[in-house]
Amino acid sequence: MWKWLHPYAKAEKSYTLSGKLMPWFLAVALPTFIVGMIWGLAFAPADYQQGDSFRIIYIHVPAAMMAMGAYSTMAIAAFIGLVWQIRLAEMTVAATAPIGAVYTFIALFTGAAWGKPMWGAWWVWDARLTSELILLFVYLGIIALYNAFSDKVLAGRAASILTLVGVINLPIIHFSVVWWNTLHQGATITKFDQPSMATDMLIPLLIMIVSFAAFLGFMVLYRFRNEILQRESHRPWVIALVQQSSSSVNKRG
């Protein structure tokens, strides 16, 4: 297995492989998005308590899950990058962080929009909302740290270390927020018990989760390829690639 994996530590090989994989991720993400969206918004039955406003779940839950998913991706990549000194893994960390931050923001925004009709307030210091907000802060810290370095190799390594520090800290933050919440506010504010979902509602949700995950994969590969091109711009294969694409554009033009 290692022999098979080894060539992909080379930037050119990874670039080609991720280029081949990208369309497949998009091919999964787009149809599932359209199907899941239409099914969820138009055909799934309305909730008996929340009416139609529960339908925001089809954006909110997948975004929140993938916000965590992106962070786990980063943590694994950071670990690989630091332990086996693989530069490309550190590039993955840098490429994933902004996407994870955007997913986190979407989850927060939809959570707030959902909270307005349900709780009567845009923002409630609910445990899950709060820890999602802190996750956003952690993402922003990693992005800021990465951008602060002018040497991108060092930047990638620093961001990886911070990612690993965060991955130890995030569960602690999560549980502390949960306890803080239950102690301060008690059960007065409903932590809305998820009624075990009806199958009609659940299937579109699962489809949307698949869609969001595939789109995450697509975006990560996309940014990963850009990252490689930017960092390796002085390498012969990148120069050859640029010349090739520009000449093909000239031919067409």
Partner 1 sequence: MFNAFLQIVRKELLGAFRQQSDILNPIWFFVIVVTLFPLGIGTDPALLARIAPGIIWVAALLAALLSFERLFKDDFIDGSLEQMMLAPQPLTWLVSAKVFAHWLLTGLPILLVSPLLAVFLSLQENTFWALFLTLLIGTPILSLLGSIGVALTIGLRKGGVLLSLIMLPLSIPILIFSTMAIDAATFGQSYIGLLALLGAMLVAAMTLAPFAIAASLRVSVS
- Give me 148's structure tokens: 């602060």
Q: What is the smallest separation between the CB atom of 172 and partner 1, expressed in angstroms? A: 5
Half-sphere exposure of 224 (CA within 13 A, CB side): 28
74 Cα distance to chain centroid: 9
Q: What is the smallest separation between the CB atom of 6 and partner 1, expressed in angstroms? A: 25
Q: What is the smallest separation between the CB atom of 192 and partner 1, expressed in angstroms? A: 23
Nearer to partner 1 by C-beta: 113 or 145?
145
3-state secondary structure of 86: coil
Secondary structure E strands in the chain: none
Let me know: does 122 contact 112? Beta carbons within 8 Å.
yes
Q: What is the smallest separation between the CB atom of 22 and partner 1, expressed in angstroms? A: 31
What is the distance between the alpha carbons of residues 46 and 53, in angstroms, rounded to a whole number?
Answer: 8
Nearer to partner 1 by C-beta: 158 or 197?
158
Q: Which amino acid is at 252?
A: R
Q: Which residues bind partner 1 (CB under 8 A)?
A: 82, 134, 137-138, 140-141, 144-145, 148-149, 154, 157-158, 161-162, 164-166, 168-169, 172-173, 176-177, 179-180, 183
Nearer to partner 1 by C-beta: 90 or 227?
90
Nearer to partner 1 by C-beta: 137 or 237?
137
What is the distance between the alpha carbons of residues 191 and 189, in angstroms, rounded to a whole number?
Answer: 6
